[in-house]
Structure formats: structure tokens, C-alpha cells
Amino acid sequence: MRDAGRLAAAIDVLTDIEERHRPVRMALKTWGESARYAGAKDRAWVSGLALDVLRRRRSLAWRMGEEGPRAASLAALRFLWDWPMERIAEAAAEEPHGPGPLTDAERAALATPRDLAEAPPAVRGDYPDWLDASLVRAFGDDRAAEGQALSERAPVDLRVNRLKTDPERALKALTPLHAEPSGVLATALRMPALDPTARSGAVEAIPQFSKGWFEVQDLGSQIAASAAGEVKGKQVLDLCAGGGGKTLALASDMGNTGQIYAYDSDARRLADTIRRGERAGVRNLQIRSPINPDPLKGLEGRMDVVFLDAPCTGTGSWRRHPDTKWRLTPETLEKRQADQDAVLDAGATFVKPGGRIVYVTCSVLPEENEDRVTAFLARTDGFEVRPATADPALTGRLTAEGYLRLSPRTSATDGFFVAVLERRKDPKSS
């Protein structure tokens, strides 16, 4: 495909997302099925432009002085991809595949865009207006800058699996992909963000990936798992295991000692945990499936660590899933808070005296983070907050209360919140 056809395809995909409120993956899949002629590079190009537009939809519209997929796509090519005006004009006007010649207004906006510095914080930060009050609570006057960081393309992070190898050997295996140590966790490696038109999947092509040497996992997610502390020989319950990313990180730290139990309310998601655990060489994992009656029976009051990767709005992962920020509603946020309260209450029943809850969200909203912990402590006796990390490389990210707050701007990770809540050995003691 030439530039003209690719540009028109990206605009069509974005129009489908906007008009039908569809996830970007579904819209791209539908387009791909109707464009059998498109090669892998064409699909990567269309996907890359669509995602970049979704990351910065509001600021691109502001600079153009016009809303809509076409205006945003043209602006992304000019201001994000650094295309010269001549190339954009040629792609737009080419017949029969281009989306149509540039108008005089479009040429003027591309040549002399509106000053983004004059835009409101929600426009500069590329997030919905209704979230501004929440982000003021989280970041204050830095909220626009934090939003901009959440609108960047994300790097590819890898977690080295100590059950199969060590960081030095893994780094050597990843030399072709230019991986580097993260500088935070010894087992965390990082590759730079891909060019928006590049194909993904290179990590899976490394032979050692199939051998279980490493997993793709955001650094923030790895840090959250490390907040469980010393887990060797312990009894650990991952109560919202999902696909098993943090389960496997915990298992690696456990070194096949103790026991880790993985549960999720969706049994289908646990199937992936089983497969990934086998590849990673995990031998101390028990899957507790909701298909079975009383799947968690016998674990009450016995766990050293209950890990709660709580369901949330995913506002911290906007770099990777930019379409979700435009579909998020106040009603969804309210529902997630109820889910989080229920998960915390359920998790508390499994913690033994002296044990701890590790409460994690990939959200930057206080309503899902500090507020949920505060509400839990107010209705639950016997728990107290402990610092979420003792790692000198991370203690600067602790809040005054001892919670860990991560964001792309401050820690170069996805947005995460971690609280460690310890059950006192004597619930009546203060």
C-alpha cells in the first residue's frame, strides 16, 4: 500500500471507533479482514497511526482547530511523525486511494497550529474533562504533564525468570533486540519503544522466550509484584490472578519454595496461567478455579501474603490502551470502586496474623487507590499500613502514607498504585 491508502485506512478505522464506540483492536481486526491485500508493514502502519491519534486526540484537535478522525490523523502525521506538508498533501490528494485533498483551513492549521500552551490542562494532557478533578488530587499542577507522559508510546519491558536463567544470560540472549538493564530491579530489562510503523512480536522470536527465560511485563507491574517482599517458603494467594503475569513474578521470587495459589473469578483466564507456569518451570503453583465448588476452601487465615491485583479503570495503562480513556465513564469508575471494596474484604479473610495484603491497581485515580484503602481500614479491624517498598531505588516514589505511586513521568513505568496492609498479630493491639 502507498501512503494514500494507508492514511485513508487509518481514518476509516478511527471513524469506526468513534461512531460505533468499538475497541481499537476490534476496529483494526475488522479493517484487516476487509483488506486482505494489506501486508504486515501496512497493518503496522495503520495500527501505529490510529494508536498515536488515540493517545493525543484532544491536543491534536486543538492544534488543528477541528475535531474528527481526519483532522487528528493529518495532525499526527505533521506534529508526531514529522512529515513535511508536501508529503501529507500528496498522500491526501492521491486518487483513487487518498482521503481527499487538503482544504485551505487544513493547510493553514498544519502550517501554523494553535498554541497548545494556551489549552486547558485536560486538553494538554489528553484526557476527558470529567477526570480533571481526580487528576488534580493525584498530581496537582503537574496533571497535564502526567497526562502527556501517559500519552507517549511505551517501551517493552521484560522480566527475567530466575527459575530458568539469570539476568546476565538473559541480557546476552536479547542482544539482537538491544535490551538494557532497567536500573531498578535486577531482573527487569527494557527495550525502547517501537517505531509506530514497526511490527511487534520480535521478543517471541527469541528462542529463549519459548524456553521460559523471560516474560514481557511492564516494569511497574514487576515493581508491584516485588512489593510482596520476602516470599520464599511462604504461603501466597494471588486472588485476582488473571493471565498470571504477577503470579509468575511471585513464583520466580519464591524459587519453587512454599506454595502459591492462583484464583480468578473468570476461569478462562486461568487457562493461560497454567500454560505460562509450565513454560516458566513453576512447580509450587496451585490453580484454584471458580468452576469448582468452594475453590478457596481451606485457605482462610493461612496466607502470609494475599496479592490483590484489583480490577480497575486501567488509567495507568493509557500508553498501551489509549482507546480506553475515551470510553471510560463515571459509572464505570463507580462500579470499579465497588469491585475493589469487595476484593479487599474477600482478601482479608485469607490473611493470617502477621501476614499482609498487597493491594495493587494499574490506576492513577485516588478514588481507586488511597480512598479504597482508607475505606477498608475504617471498616476492618486489625490492619495497618506498612511502607510498600524498602528498595532504595524506589523509596522516593513512596507517598507520605507509605503507598507506592508510579507513573510514566516520575518512574518511567505504567501508572501503578501499591499499598501493603499488615494484619496485626494481636488484632486488639494498636
Residues forming the active site: 362
CB 253 within 8 A of CB 228: yes
Q: Please give the full DSSP string across 347-408, using - where no structure is assigned.
A: HHTTEEEEEEEEEEES---GGGTHHHHHHHHHH-TTEEEE-S---TTTGGGB-TTS-EEE-H
The enclosing H or E element of 262 equals strand 259-263
Q: In 3-state terms, what secondary structure has residue 19?
A: helix
Helix (H, G, I), strand (E, B) or coil at 158: strand
How many helices (H) and strands (E) in the chain? 20, 12
* Cα gap 252→159, rounded to integer Å: 10
Q: What are the phi and psi torsion angles at 52 (to 5°)?
A: -65, -40
Residue with cell 496533571: 143
Q: 494471588: which residue's cell?
A: 238
**Rounded Cα gap, residues 210 and 90, in angstroms:** 44
Whether 304 has a binding-site annotation, put simply, is no
| DSSP bridge partners of 398 | 404
Picking from 279, 297, 280, the residue whose alpha carbon sits closest to that of residue 288 is 297
Place of cell 485506512: 9
Contact partners, residue 290, CB within 8 Å, separation at least 6: 263, 264, 265, 266, 267
Of 363, 364, 355, give the one whose Cα is nearest residue 307.
355
Q: In whole angstroms, what is the distance from residue 81 CA to residue 44 CA? A: 14
To the question of whether residue 426 is assigned a binding role by annotation, the answer is no
Angstrom CA distances, 419 to 93, 359, 369, 370, 372, stand at 54, 5, 8, 8, 10
The DSSP bridge pattern shows strands 416-423 and 383-386 to be antiparallel
Tell me the binding residues: 264, 309
Tell me the binding residues for S-adenosyl-L-methionine: 264, 309
